[in-house]
Amino acid sequence: MSDVIHHAVEAMRAKVKGPFDSSAKFVIRDHGAIMLDSEGVRAGDEPADVTLTASVDTFRAIMDGDLAPMAAFMTGKLQVEGNMGTAMKLGAVLG
């Protein structure tokens, strides 16, 4: 596992508030992917209800609270594929 993915997993674990009953994959371009589901956060690249793709800088800005996910999506910095309802539920879980 790359250092970027390791740190991204730790950052997301720190942000997750409560259970998540769906599955989401966060693809960090050129580095790998992170899974969030009912089992928690881990490195992985399995099929998911929704897949969010961003650069490492965009992912870091979202995790740090410097960039709102919706703003990242609207400006094309964050791509979303799959179930948009699941994507919207992420906001509540990631606090």
pLDDT digits (tens, 9 = 90+) for 23-38: 999 999 999 999 999 9
What is the C-alpha to C-alpha distance for residues 80 and 73, in angstroms, rounded to an integer? 8
DSSP 72: H
Assess whether pLDDT exceeds 90 at residue 7. Answer: yes
The pLDDT of residue 75: 97
What is the C-alpha to C-alpha distance for residues 11 and 62, in angstroms, rounded to an integer? 10
Query: CATH number of the domain at 3-93, please?
Result: 3.30.1050.10
Domain boundaries, the chain: 3-93
- 54's CB contacts (< 8 A; 6+ apart) are 26, 27, 28, 29, 62, 72, 77, 78, 79
Could you report how far apart the first and last alpha carbons of the chain are, in Å? 26
CA dist list (Å): 30 to 2, 87, 90: 10, 22, 23
Assess whether pLDDT exceeds 70 at residue 81. Answer: yes
Predicted TM-score of the model (pTM):
0.92
Assess whether pLDDT exceeds 90 at residue 1. Answer: no
The pLDDT of residue 54: 97
